[in-house]
Amino acid sequence: MKKFIFILLAFFNTAAIKADVITTTIGDFEYQLDTQGVVASVVKYMGEESNVQIPEKISYDGKDYSVINLMSESFLGSTSVVSVDIPNSVSEIGRQVFKGCTNLETVTMSESVKTIPYEAFGQCSKLTTVNFPENSVILIGTEAFSRCVSLKEMRIPESVERIGDYAFHGCSSLATVNIPNKVSQINEWAFYGCAFASIEIPNSVTSIGSWAFAACKNLESITIPNSVQSIGKWCFDYDISLKSVVLPDTITKIPNGTFSRCFKLASIDIPSSVTTLGVQSFNMCTSLTVIDIPNTIMEIEEEAFLNCTMATTVNIAPSVRSIGKNAFSGCNSITDINFLTTKPFSIADNVFSCQDKATLHVLPDYVPIFNSLDGWRDFANIVPKRDDTAIPDYVDVNGDGKVNTADVVGIYKYIIDGTDPRK
């Protein structure tokens, strides 16, 4: 009997909760009304108006309800809408709320909305203007403005802390955009295919996701601050106008494909913190004529400089301990390779494709060794070369690899009493 009473009470409680929510149509909108909280959510727009003003309040059965929410897909595919004004009473907009509104041009956003959710304005192909109140939105979510191909300028509020995956993906006209000083993450594909020639990354940013700025065909220069601890793979792939890059000295690897197909990138300073050049990191950088591998790099991964067809000189630092397959394959214009290492190692036969005409320069004592090592012995010309960067014996008299007052003292003692400064 007690069990029956409990079930009966539960039924009536559920019925009471359902009775607190009413769905009704008022004007061009279908609403869901919470009679207890006296608030309303827009379920669906059913009108044909071009300029839509979402009401701040509605009246039903003698009560006034504040409109606080635009539910997911409530304007989905509404092709009549050209402009929409969202009142400050609205604090939440749902996923795909305006997706596919292909004639929507102007949006005035509520100052109460903190998140632009998944595909909220996705595929709004005529959208040109989004008016954000200052210090409003915190998160621009995944694909929030993806494929808004007419969007030329975006003023992101300074309150934004995160830019989600694909947020502005495919905004092929977006020529002006700011990244606020509170943003810590620029997620994957965030600005893929945008039209800006330059963009400023603030010191607040600590990570940039894979493909974040890829296929930005007008991007000419970018400076990444030292606050950035990680850069995702293929981040600047196919940025065909990119000429100038400043990298932070906080990263240890140039990730896979980072500058692949950056056809106008003629030079780059690799920070001293970097020890690895990733797979295809500079693939098809066809404006590179001199490839300088600095003395902090230990590993050059597969296809790192694949098809850098204009490169004529490669300087490999003695610090390098590994070179992957096809690392310099297709670089058929190379005439000189300098590798003045004292720790030579074997490489695959296909690392280079210029062995028949390029000259390999190595330290004099190591010519026979390179002539016997796999991958290197295929070079038709292996010739000795002095290491011009080494400190001459007649300057570094005590042999400690430095030039300082100790060398002067050593010379003095040698002159006075014949003491050998190297002992």
Residue 206 has pLDDT above 80, yes or no: yes
Rg (CA), the chain: 32
The token duo for 1 is 């009997």
Model confidence at 7, in pLDDT bands (50, 70, 90)? very low
Enumerate residues 6+ apart whose C-beta is below 8 A from 423.
none
CA distance 166 to 214: 11
What per-residue confidence (pLDDT) applies to 2? 47
CA distance 388 to 304: 27
% pLDDT > 90, the chain = 86
Burial label for 295, CB within 10 Å (0-12, 13-18, 19+), is middle
Contact 57, 89 (CB under 8 A): yes
CA distance 189 to 177: 15
Domain range annotation of the chain: 252-390, 395-423
% pLDDT > 70, the chain = 87
pLDDT, tens digit (0-9, with 9 covering 90-100), for 280-292: 999 999 999 999 9
Rounded average pLDDT over 225-230:
97
Please give the C-alpha separations between residue 87 and each of 62, 108, 111, 157, 299, in angstroms, as whole numbers.
Answer: 22, 8, 8, 17, 57
CA distance 386 to 3: 95
Residue, of 154 and 412, whose pLDDT is higher: 154
Can you list the pairs that 169-176 forms with residues at least 24 positions away whose Cβ atoms lie under 8 Å? 169/143, 169/193, 170/146, 171/145, 171/146, 171/147, 171/195, 173/149, 174/148, 175/218, 176/152
Size of the chain, expressed as the number of residues it contains: 423
pLDDT, tens digit (0-9, with 9 covering 90-100), for 254-271: 999 999 999 999 999 999
Please give the C-alpha separations between residue 254 and each of 58, 205, 242, 275, in angstroms, as whole numbers.
Answer: 57, 18, 16, 8
The backbone torsions φ and ψ at residue 64, rounded to the nearest 5 degrees and listed phi first, read -95, 130
**Average pLDDT for the chain:** 92
For the four alpha carbons of 22, 27, 30 and 32, in that order, the dihedral sign comes to: negative
pLDDT, tens digit (0-9, with 9 covering 90-100), for 165-192: 999 999 999 999 999 999 999 999 999 9
**CATH fold of the domain at 252-390:** 3.80.10
Contact 260, 238 (CB under 8 A): yes
pLDDT, tens digit (0-9, with 9 covering 90-100), for 47-96: 999 999 999 999 999 999 999 999 999 999 999 999 999 999 999 999 99
pTM, full prediction: 0.86
